[in-house]
Structures are given as structure tokens and as C-alpha cells.
Chains A and B, each alone.
Chain A
Amino acid sequence: MGKLTNEQELTSIVMSEIDNVATLLKNIDSGEKLQYAINGQKEELTAKQAIPFGHKIAIKPIQPFEDVVKYGQVIGAASIEITPGEHVHIHNIEGIRGRGDKAKGGQN
């Protein structure tokens, strides 16, 4: 897990270098620029919507059904195409696990 540091006034945090989302450390307005660090490099991104504190923003393009990765681990799959700067949440990603609604008949 990435070291938590805010020394460079980062406004979001990426937990692993293979993540495709960042977590916001403050509320962000649409069009606002935010900073995150990945592989020790400071990066900048423009939010395409207003996104609340603690929520996720895409830092890479994510195709439909592609894994969404946070903590270097799969947290779900995109249900539609997601572009960098977009809010990533229940409207565009789904859990893969605990999906009784998708269970096929005949399973025990």
C-alpha cells in the first residue's frame, strides 16, 4: 500500500502504481485541477464533474467490463466506458462478487 503523504499539497491519492483511480482528499468542483503522485511523480488531472471527498476519479481510460483497480487490487468492473477525470462510482462500476442477482439457476 502506498505511503500516505500530503507534502506536495496533493488533493487526491493513488494507492498503487497500477491503480486506474485516485481517491479525492477534498471536494472537487467540475473543471477543477487536482494533483496526485504516482511512481514518485506529481501528476495533474482536470475533474469532469463535481466529485465529493473520499470518492474516486478515473486517472486512466477504462473500457466497459475492464477491471477497476484501487490498492493494486480489483474492486469491480466498469459498466460503461470511463474517461480520465470522470467520477467513478456506482453509476459506472459494478461489484463482481456477492452478486446473487446474477447467479445462474441450478447453482447450489
Chain B
Amino acid sequence: MKMIKGYRRPNGKMGIRNHLLIIPTVVCANHVSNRIQQSAPASVAIPHQHGCSQIGDDKERTHKLLAGMGKNPNVGAVLLVSLGCEVIDASELKKEIEGTGKPVEWIDIQDAGGSIKAIQKGSELAKRLYKEIENIPRTDIPLSELILGVKCGGSDATSGLCSNPSLGRTSDMIIKQGGTIVMGETTEIIGAEHIVAESAVNEEVANKVYAYVDKFEKEVERIGADMRGGNPSPGNIEGGLSTIEEKSLGCISKAGTSPLIDVLPFAEGIPGRGYYFMDSPGNDIECVSGMAAAGVHMVCFTTGRGTPTGNPIIPVIKITGNEITASNMADNIDVDTSPVMKGKETIDDAGNRIFEIVIEIAQGELAKAEVLGHQEFSISRISISL
């Protein structure tokens, strides 16, 4: 059994990072959260634009995303910052995150008596929380506990020819070790959903693939627009991708060849091991944020055009098959698979290289996005603002 060094959490889950996470429950608490984060350098914050004037599915989604980020085992402790009159229920959020056994504190700006007092009190709480987690050691944990998200963004023709098939080999290796792969982006299986559905373990799971794609396409019909221009994006088109079908067919190979165990709602906790599909937007930040909230430990992210996307709590590893992007955006790219395009390396070799880097980064080496401080986070929106 292959072992890696990770953090064992009180609820038994494995984490590969040990973050102190500061969560504003509402957009109004962003500034106070950011100031607290600045005074506690080892912490990360997730400012976002939601948390109030939301009902129904939107309210539930915001709650689910914030709770999921707090529960992710890459997070050692959580500080919640609320305003006091918002839709999101901070006490409920606190209770849910505390269910994992990790320390959680909560400060309310109205209760504290304004921004200055909230920042002061919050900074003290952040320092105290950090002391509780700073000495948690890494221990030996089976690689089979790793949950790896696979994602692509800023795709071009090399994504389908080279970087995604290479990542697919890595996915197969992770599953062979007993681990878990999560693929998202419902948008980007349109035109290739029959191939994803064919890999499903049974008809019920296959039907879920079709149902999520149908729901998405119906929404595009309701809007009355051609997807092209939005997805494939202008950059995808410049990179040679002509239609969403072509993009999708290039996308799906990144999940490898394992049977699809189940299809899950957006940001839903991953219930078992193996290959899962998660309903999500194709939008890079929204999808990676949803994966983090689902408990994914890290994301392998292929790109042809080059994109800097990171996340506050999970490493995002950049893999390209475009040699120009690999040199032009060397700051951002962790793995260059373009030797495959020249016949100098096989897809298997490139998949092995990605696997080795996944192991290194799981054990604490920093991904380029982490080195650069990329911490993008966003919560996708379903309906209107009230």
C-alpha cells in the first residue's frame, strides 16, 4: 500500500494542507475578514459576493459552499465572520463545521460593536486558533484516501490531444491505488455525455449523466443563445476548438478509463472511493470552488491557453500540452506534457510524471498557484437577487 504524509483530522479524514480558514458569511463581512486575515499571516480568507438577499436554491448553495470549505480536511481550524442580519445562519454553519471535530470560532460584527472592534477581536481569535493547529504533525496515510479533482480550463487543441489523455493515465493510477477522482463541468461533457454515460456502473447512474446535461442544455435554450462564444470561449476558439462538442470530446479523457461510480449534485461531499462525476458549471473558479467544498484535496488542472487559477484551501496543479504556453507562462505551469506532441514521450510517461508531482504536492511541496498566492474562490448563482 502506497503511503503519503498527511494530516489526520479528528473525524478520521485525511488533509494535505493545514489551513486556518476565515469565512465571511456574507459579502458585508468581506472587509473585516480580509483585515483579520492580514493580521494572521498563516490564514486564508474566502471573500465572496453572496450570503444575503438569497432564497431557496441560492441560499442553500451559498450555505453548502461555505460549510463545505470549512469542513474540507485541508482546513485545520475555522473563524466565521458574520454581520448579524444576513440570510446565511452563522450559528448553523458553525454547528455543521464543528461536526468534523476541528476548532471553530465565530465573531459577529454587529455584536462586536463595529468593524474596528470586530477586526481586533477576530485577530485575537485567529491567533489563538492558529496556535491550536500549528504543531499538528504530518503522519503516514494511505494514498487511497486521496481525492483528486480533474479539471480543464483555457483549453486549446493540445488539451484533447495531449494534456487531458496524460492526466487520464494519472487518474487511472490514482484509482488503481484505491483513490478517488472527481470530474466536474457538466457544460463540458455536452456532446460527449454518451461516452461518460457508457462508463457508468449501471443504468441509473448513466441516466443521471443524461439528466444533468439535459437540465443544462434546457437552460441554454431558455436563454435563447448559442453557447459558442461563451463556451467554447474566444480563447478556446483561437486555440482551434470550433464547437462545444469538440471541446467536450477533448475534455473527458482526463478522468481516465475507470467505471463511473455515481453522479453527484454540485459541491456534495464525496461518499465513497473511485471515479465520480459532480454536476458543476464549466467556469474554472466556480467548479474548483465546488470541488473544494465537496472535500476534494487537490485539483489537477489542464490548460492549453494558460490560466493562473488557484484556490484558498486546495492546491491546483497546472498541466499543459502547449509548449508555447509552457515557456510563456512558466510561472504558472507545473507540468509540461508537450513532449508527447513531438513524439518524444508517451502519454503513459507523461501520466507517470503527473502522478509523481501529485504525490510531492500532496506531501507539502507547493504548487505554482500556491507559490504565487492565487486564491480564487466564487459561489455560482442560480436565480435572482432579492
Q: Is the CB of A56 within 8 A of B224?
A: no
Tell me whether B100 is interfacial, beta carbon within 8 Å: no
**Choice from A54, A74, A89, A100 contacting B156 with Cβ under 8 Å:** A54
Tally of A-B Cβ pairs under 8 angstroms: 118
Most buried by A among B195, B246, B249: B246
A5: which B residues are within 8 A, CB to CB? 343
Instruction: Count residues of chain B with CB under 8 A from any CB of chain A.
Output: 43
Q: Is the CB of B192 within 8 A of A73?
A: yes
Q: Is the CB of A93 within 8 A of B242?
A: yes
Tell me whether B161 is interfacial, beta carbon within 8 Å: yes
Q: Interface digits, B356-370 against A, CB 8 Å rule (1 contact, 0 not)?
A: 000000000000000
**Choice from A25, A55, A75 contacting B245 with Cβ under 8 Å:** A75
Q: Is the CB of A73 within 8 A of B157?
A: no
**Choice from A54, A98, A107 contacting B157 with Cβ under 8 Å:** A54
Q: Give CA–CA (A75, B192) in the complex, Å.
A: 9
Tell me whether A108 is interfacial, beta carbon within 8 Å: yes
* Closest B residue to A4 using CB positions: B340
Give A3 Cβ to nearest chain B Cβ, in Å. 8
- Known: A4-B161, A54-B239, A93-B243. Contact between A98 and B341, CB under 8 A? no
Q: Is the CB of B243 within 8 A of A95?
A: yes
Stretch at the interface among B50-58, B137-145, B214-222, B295-303: B214-222
Q: Give CA–CA (A84, B239) in the complex, Å.
A: 21
Q: Interface digits, A71-108 against B, CB 8 Å rule (1 contact, 0 not)?
A: 10111100000000000111001111111111100011
Give A36 Cβ to nearest chain B Cβ, in Å. 13
- Given contacts A1-B253, A75-B191, A98-B190, list 16 more A-B pairs with CB under 8 A: A4-B162, A4-B346, A13-B161, A54-B304, A71-B249, A73-B195, A74-B191, A74-B245, A75-B246, A93-B242, A94-B228, A94-B243, A95-B228, A99-B220, A100-B224, A100-B227
- Report 23 cross-chain contacts, Cβ distance below 8 Å, ordered by A residue: A4-B161, A4-B346, A23-B161, A23-B240, A52-B240, A54-B157, A56-B157, A73-B191, A73-B195, A74-B191, A75-B242, A75-B243, A75-B245, A89-B240, A89-B242, A94-B243, A95-B191, A97-B217, A97-B227, A100-B220, A100-B221, A102-B226, A103-B224
